[in-house]
Structure 1
């Protein structure tokens, strides 16, 4: 994916542009934080840059946490059935399907509140983990705590990687992609193991 338009927004709007991009990234999963934050980190390392790495980090963190709240409240007030209907009608425009919602809900049920923290570190899960948190009536303060913690780790990793790699910042996305698939595979296996364990336990009762 070309990063030219991301670069233009960051150069034009500065910290506000970074926050906006990360906010939108949490609403529309196809927009990659793996490009946004490394590019912002790289920009902060340029000699004539008006950005600094701490400002870039906090701008990205603010946008990420704010975007996560947008998914939390529909989960809390709409519920699973209405969200799935919405996803079937409009999900193709935002890259979210009813199956994605079900997957995120099952993941939350297996991990509890810590799923919010872990989920924020996993591409493909990080955006939608807010939905089951809302559906399960997770309190706002714990949700914000775990979301901020997970988002800070993710945003910090991407920002620092771009800062250190310089003009090779796109390598972050290249090398994270296979790692993300491995992590996602491990999570799927853990979920399957949890299901089997529950079935074995129920069969003994």
Structure 2
């Protein structure tokens, strides 16, 4: 089954890996935890160059995230503020909360974007608020590329090196992403607790 799936990924070549990773960030047909280890497995079988797999996977993920970021940026922070001012109070989302969220993302933007790339469920989601608050493009794309490159390369190299024990990749990828997410939420919770205790 693994060899068949890896062959299917490899049949599209590096362009196929790139397009699958773009799609994974737009309307996920399958998660990166499956795509990249399969591509790494195919590279270990000599069906694709491993360096090409790493570059194609990273580039595809960055392009997929760019779509959401640029769409949210085009919508704009000013329009978002007007909507929050008009309707947000009914949902507890007034302009003050929007302003606080903007400030937090501007202040912690690089870390938030970088770490989110390794978190299940948040990986693509972070691109939308980053675009809405108009996070500088150089910040977004630099840290997206670094975080995405680390995650996708780690998955592909795991598939490449564990070749005969492929099932271990999927077993470990989820818990690692979950662990990163729990650490980030623990730090955020601690910061909020400290803020509430201040007189």
- TM normalised by structure 2 equals 0.78
User: Structure 1 108/124 Cα, relative in aligned 2: closer, same or farther at 3 Å?
Assistant: farther
Residue 196 of structure 1: how far off its partner (Å) = 1.7
In the alignment, the residues of structure 2 paired with residue 163 and residue 45 of structure 1 have an alpha-carbon distance, to the nearest angstrom, of 5
2:160 corresponds, among 155, 158, 163, to 163
Which contiguous aligned blocks of 4+ residues in structure 1 show a shift greater than 6 angstroms? 2-5
Structure 2 residue corresponding to 1:56, chosen from 53, 57, 64: 53
User: Which residue of structure 1 lines up, in the alignment, with residue 11 of structure 2?
Assistant: 12
Partner of 2:27: 28
Give the deviation of 1:60 after TM superposition: 0.5
Q: CA deviation at 1:185?
A: 1.9
Question: Which residue of the partner structure matches residue 88 of structure 1?
Answer: none
The answer to whether structure 1 residue 173 and structure 2 residue 170 are counterparts is yes
**Unaligned 5+ runs, structure 1:** 86-101
The equivalent of 1:96 in structure 2 is: none
The alpha-carbon distance between structure 1 residues 173 and 43, as it changes in their structure 2 partners (threshold 3 A), is: same
Distance 1:8 1:182 in 2: 31
Structure 1 length-normalised TM: 0.76
Q: Deviations over 1:78-136 (max 9, x none)?
A: 35887xx9xxxxxxxxxxxxxxxx9xx69847733221111112222211111111111
Question: Does the residue aligned with 1:138 lie in a helix, a strand or coil?
Answer: coil
